[in-house]
Amino acid sequence: MLSLIRTDSKNSDFIILVTQLDADLNARDGDEHAFYNQFNSTVDLNHVLVLYANETPVGCGALKKIDELTMEVKRMFVLKTERSKGYATMLLEALELWAKELKNTRCILETGKRQPEAIALYKKGGYLIIPNYAPYQGIENSVCFQKKLSS
């Protein structure tokens, strides 16, 4: 059975999942991980989703307010053992719905070129590549996306 909860960054299951996400990103990005990590603080994230399969946390994602009409998708992660089950798509769609409920008109995000499965997910979800926004401008490994949210 799947369940999805809305919470914040103090949620213990979210913290555990983000620790695993950071380990995965560190392995992929090596020395560059410290650069990216400075922009991935989970302190004060008020819009966090945790996905459970049979009461076990298997994935997460979050939204960070950027401006009056924009949310940034942050900390998207699904356990390696639970991938290819549609969970990432479910999380992304739930984040977009929440962003719309909060009166936002677009979502933006940054991911790395060493995360081809993430790039594929975002493209499949209707996200378009945009010029890298701050603080990712000029960063070769970064790919930035946006999606306009339908009303």
Q: Over the stretch 35-82, which tens digit does the pLDDT of each residue have?
A: 776 667 777 899 999 999 999 999 999 999 999 999 999 999 999 999
12's tokens: 């213990």
Residue ranges with strand state E in 24-124: 47-53, 56-67, 70-78, 106-112
- Output the domain CATH number for residue 63: 3.40.630.30
Write out the two tokens for 87: 């969970």
Q: What is the pLDDT of residues 83-124, one digit of tens each?
A: 999 999 999 999 999 999 999 999 999 999 989 999 999 999
Residue (of 91, 47, 44, 42) closest to 71 by Cα position: 47
Report pTM: 0.93
The answer to whether the peptide bond before residue 131 is cis (omega within 30 degrees of 0) is no
CA distances from 79 to 23, 29, 47, 107, 141 (A): 12, 18, 20, 23, 23
How many folded domains does the chain comprise?
Answer: 1
Range of the domain at 128: 2-148
Three-state secondary structure call for residue 70: strand
